[in-house]
Amino acid sequence: MDHIVIIGNGISGVTLARHIRKLSDKKITIISAESDYFFSRTALMYVYMGHMKFEHTQPYENWFWKKNSIDLVNGFVEKVETDAKKLVLKDGSSISYDKLVIATGSKPNKFGWSGQDLNGVQGLYSKQDLELLEKNAPNNKVCNRAVIVGGGLIGIEMAEMLRSREIPVTFLVREKSFWNGVLPAGESAMINEHILEHHIDLQLDTNLEKIISDDNGRAKAVVTDKGETIECNVVGLTAGVTPNIDFLKDSGIELGRGVKVNRFLETNVKDVFAIGDCAEQHEGIGSRRPIEAVWYTGRMMGEALAQTLCNKPRKYAPGHWFNSAKFLDVEYQTYGWVFSERSKKDNEQHFHWRHPSEKICITVAFDKDNHQFLGLNTFGIRMRHEIFDQWLTENRDIDHVMTYLRDANFDPEFYKLYEEEIVAKYNADFNKNIIPKKKSWKRIFSIA
Ligand SMILES: Cc1cc2nc3c(=O)[nH]c(=O)nc-3n(C[C@H](O)[C@H](O)[C@H](O)COP(=O)(O)OP(=O)(O)OC[C@H]3O[C@@H](n4cnc5c(N)ncnc54)[C@H](O)[C@@H]3O)c2cc1C
């Protein structure tokens, strides 16, 4: 019987194990250095904010693994010997495999800043990071101010976490406007305002120069490239993540920024595969990046590889891009491709509507030549995934999207709806005369 060994018990490794078990009785071992049991990384912030206990982030009961004959090993893999098909762990023990899957996720970026390894300087990725933050910043008496470096999704989460305990936060963002490498200008500007309204000291167009130590090797201030010194007790490094693959350096497995894989998630070495944040496609699929550090793509890779390992070869084929996140209390969803000004394609045109007073907006991208719908971003309005997926597959044009926009709205009943205003602005901007159709459950159920 094949022994499948998975390094990493995150969403990708665990999805793979569950699906292999559904399909076969192969021997499965999952190794992780982080936690005994799988937990939801995306929920870590809610533990610090007091909305849930750490146990509540574990989707499966502890007995689940034994009942499903999935062996769990708590240990750190230091070396992979592909010729001998053997792993060497930090405690000196070794584990043999028939098939090896690398699902080791990411680690926070550190760019060689002076002081980056001082006490009080930390990332936000792991369970250990959460525990460290609890020590470093239990309240605003121990932590008078935190400085967060790097304006992405994890940075804003960390700011929200610290603000929930009324800890003053300075947020250093290299870009001239928040996340404007990803978001179109109107949306990015709205999030700038939202951050400031939450009493976060957002400093745009500002880089970290160095972190200054006190006499005990603890961070006591940062210096920015604007020459400002900001006193603080905690420095959060949230300037992106990189695949967690240092231990593979001498393994013979082809590495780029991540572990190089083909569409079947195979590496250059027979019987060795990689999935999740640490996997790097030789070429990105469509407009996707070669490394996709998001939750659902890790899950999809796990599902696809389980089929392959159970003799039903299946390519990783993620379909239309979508994602969702939260900027403080504003929900964000994206379907298809809506590029920022920086990465916009020549043929891409945007329609943008923003509510006059609230943090609600929508941007629709379409082809300026044939008006084909390319993608949509919404903030503060919930949309139905299946409908946009279908419209993208059917190559609908933007007039169709505007006409049937009410079908796509997923906000709970009695929420105020904005399709009327959105379509009126579209008509005015593009000299059209679209009359939005009433929501039809028949149409919605025919898609869902
Ligand atoms: C704070 C935060 C919030 C996020 N929010 C979102 C969100 O809202 N939406 C979204 O799509 N994505 C979000 N993400 C990203 C998402 O969590 C990741 O894409 C996903 O968890 C990656 O899963 P994975 O299985 O590839 O790796 P991971 O979850 O990183 O799991 C890998 C595991 O392998 C272990 N490991 C690594 N090396 C070794 C080794 N040598 N030996 C043994 N064990 C090892 C690691 O310790 C880790 O436990 C968030 C990430 C963070 C940090």
Q: What number is the average pLDDT over the span 278-306?
A: 97
- Model confidence at 446, pLDDT cuts 50, 70, 90, reads confident
> Which of the listed residues 88, 93, 104, 238 should we mutate to test ligand 1's pocket, taking the one with most ligand atoms within 8 A of CB?
104
Ligand 1 in reach of 159 Cβ (< 6 A): no
Ligand 1 in reach of 161 Cβ (< 6 A): no
What type of residue sits at position 224? T
Q: What is the pLDDT of residues 414-429, one digit of tens each?
A: 677 889 999 999 999 9
* Residue 448 pLDDT exceeds 70: no
> Which of the listed residues 41, 154, 255 should we mutate to test ligand 1's pocket, taking the one with most ligand atoms within 8 A of CB?
41
**Mean pLDDT of all residues belonging to the chain:** 96
- Model confidence at 438, pLDDT cuts 50, 70, 90, reads confident
For residues 153 and 416, the model is more confident at 153
Residue closest by Cα to atom 5 of ligand 1: 42
Q: What is the pLDDT of residues 312-357, one digit of tens each?
A: 999 999 999 999 999 999 999 999 999 999 999 899 999 999 999 9
Q: Is 146 exposed, middle or buried (0-12, 13-18, 19+ CB in 10 A)?
A: buried
Ligand 1 in reach of 291 Cβ (< 6 A): no
Ligand 1 in reach of 206 Cβ (< 6 A): no
